[in-house]
Structure 1
């Protein structure tokens, strides 16, 4: 009998009857500019905050009369997406833009001084639909500070690249809350950033709630993966170069809490994983025995190197690793967290003397104390409950 981890996976097949998806920024420009006129505005964004035509959102707004973007704020990876995971960011020497603040590193929650003299805060960042992506933590901290200072907060909605129906993984136990997981939501939560913002506020997941306005998209369906939107793909962070990587990311991100490389420092981050001590022939044989749905594995080898803006001192730097490359065969029936849990279990079963797990980091990423807890009925019931509650925050 195959030893697989119990999971719950919710999916639908898309049917695109619309034209190009219109992101919230374009809807704002076309219909809601009066909200911005004659106000001092702070804008939280990065390289992914673009109009459908590819213009920087903040710049498109700043070009209008009576609209002033006086301060810019950037999340992890920087204003231009130019910093690797966890890399320190300093914009003190840049003077060609409005005043620019980093909300990563020592100052993750904006200070009162940063938000001083502002009448309005706007958030426009392309998210990835995964709990461990820190942009949604930055969103929460900024909404909380806006509420403390009685500043109106606007979220410009964008597509969830993984669709609005893919929900996977355990609900975060708040005992393991951190910047890589601040809310009691699944690993993959099936909401747009605007819907999540509404849920954060209404569920009381931050200390104080702001006056929140979500500017919705047009022509977006919950069934859409990002390629269905007809919008150009912009890597939301340096190691998510394409949609397939975005979908696979929750399948391998838990390796960050182990001594198994998740492919950073290669041309295929998160699509490949391995270590110098792995017998990938044996591993491939065992993975294929699991008959995991919607995914294909093949042997690979790679040597991680430092890549500017993408990988700083990656695991096994300049050492040859033997591992596996993942290919998705059916994204509509693919459950990323289920895959990741089975990958870790299989590797640990085959190489128990080699695998090292950072328990604290694993609990923060997974959202639970132990990996095998997810197989319990209680966890499955929590996921069903989240699915039902989150529907009340659907915009689309």
Structure 2
């Protein structure tokens, strides 16, 4: 049976149940021949879609309001972290436990269930102090390890509630993928409590290609995927999983793809220690690429990671060149900082701070590509090597961006180079989307 037949027909109800069997959908058409399709345009200048913060309900809000009906009578395993809260900052686990939902175990991703670990770390396996429930360290767990943890805990329904930030190199989307794959092989039910994508519903950037997959890019999706966790789960089920899982999504109510995190009245909880604000999330699909540059810090070890970019050998001239480009939606502030950890710990760095003037005109990929092309002109600029491979190639999915920048290509030429694969991805994801991509 075609796996897409298990996907929901729409998002109108509380749950998104499996659709009835029927004829397979038409195959995704190839990108048309001829000139590359137009890039996803920047939003026109003017007021944001929400002149006042939009009030919406997350999947957690809707499940709780329904008295936890979708998880009553089953043993639940919860995949979550500190972001799994309601608007009063009460955590999903704490609320379910207090309301006597049967929880078999908790599974913590990178940074841990309670979020105390830095990048590339976890909290280990132990017991949650508040509830007494067992907590499994699921960071870097293989699908076989997920199967073992699910068996040992005896869970029959897996609940996923984590705030993603919309970038291919953010690891929670692979926690979702691996736990879904394991649940599918064990015949478990999988329930996603959906949350808005804080960077909106537009897809941007290059596609991951064969030979460049890694822990920071394991699946063939574009760099800014523009989907919620629930939409990604449906995409995984239809496109990647060898055995589809019994998937249900409790959708957000009131969100559409033109809304950003800054448009919403939802509480923001750090999804990871270096993601302090919705603005950080907005710039991250672009400036996260500076992790692939040895000569420049991406701002880890400062109070503005991914917004402050600079290095010991840089100076004010980089800011001047970027300011002259007059990139839409942003301004650059000449900035100086001293990281407390990460690259250049304790050393004075010069560079820029990205100041978002209009988040709806700001394009994180275009901005970051322009920043990289101007930074490449500095004598001290060096790409970061990871063994025999360049880290930037793993982040961007191929050698293309690095070699084009090294060859002197202009930002518009680089952006245009992936327009065809981006258009094809936009078509590929359409059957799995749950929310409109236009302003109602």
TM-score, L = length of structure 1 = 0.89
* Equivalent residue in structure 2 for 1:270, among 306, 314, 335: 306
Counterpart among 276, 281, 305 of residue 340 in structure 2: 305
Q: Distance in 2 between matches of 1:8 and 1:142?
A: 34
For the structure 1 residues 41 and 16, does the alpha-carbon distance in structure 2 shift closer, same or farther, using more than 3 Å as the test? farther
Tell whether the 8 Å contact from 1:156 to 1:214 is kept in structure 2 after alignment.
Answer: yes
Equivalent residues of 2:164, 2:229 under 8 A apart:
yes
Within-5 A mapping of 1:125-144: 125-144=162-181
Three-state SS of the structure 2 residue aligned to 1:148 is helix
Unmatched segments (≥5 aa) in structure 1: 1-5, 307-313
Aligned residue in 1 for 2:394: 364
Aligned to 1:331: 359
**2:40 match:** 9
Q: Name 1:392's counterpart in structure 2.
A: 431
What is the aligned partner in structure 2 of residue 3 from structure 1? none
Q: What is the CA-CA distance between 1:238 and the residue it aligns to?
A: 0.8
CA deviation profile, 1:220-279 (whole Å, cap 9, x unmatched): 22221123221111111111111111111123111111111011111111111111111x
Match of 1:187 among 223, 230, 249: 223
Give the alignment of 1:9-158 within 5 angstroms: 9-12=40-43, 13-15=48-50, 20-31=55-66, 33-65=68-100, 67-92=101-126, 97-105=132-140, 110-116=145-151, 117-158=154-195
Q: Is the 8 A contact 2:156 2:189 kept in 1?
A: yes
Report the counterpart of residue 311 of structure 1 in structure 2: none
The TM-score with structure 2 as length reference comes to 0.81
Q: What residue number does 1:178 align with?
A: 214
Displacement of 1:369 in angstroms is: 1.9
The runs of at least 4 aligned residues of structure 1 exceeding 6 Å deviation read none
Indicate the RMSD between aligned Cα atoms, in angstroms. 2.3
| 1:316 aligns to 2:350 (yes or no) | no
Match 2:253 to one of 213, 218, 221: 218
For 1:309, the equivalent position in structure 2 comes to none
State whether residues 248 and 270 of structure 1, in contact with CA within 8 Å, keep that contact through their aligned partners in structure 2. Answer: yes
How many residues get paired?
379
Structure 2 alignment gaps of length 5 or more: 1-36, 405-412, 436-440
CA distance, structure 2, for counterparts of residue 144 and residue 106 of structure 1: 12
Residues 243 and 19 (structure 1 numbering): CA distance in 2 closer, same or farther, change over 3 Å?
A: closer
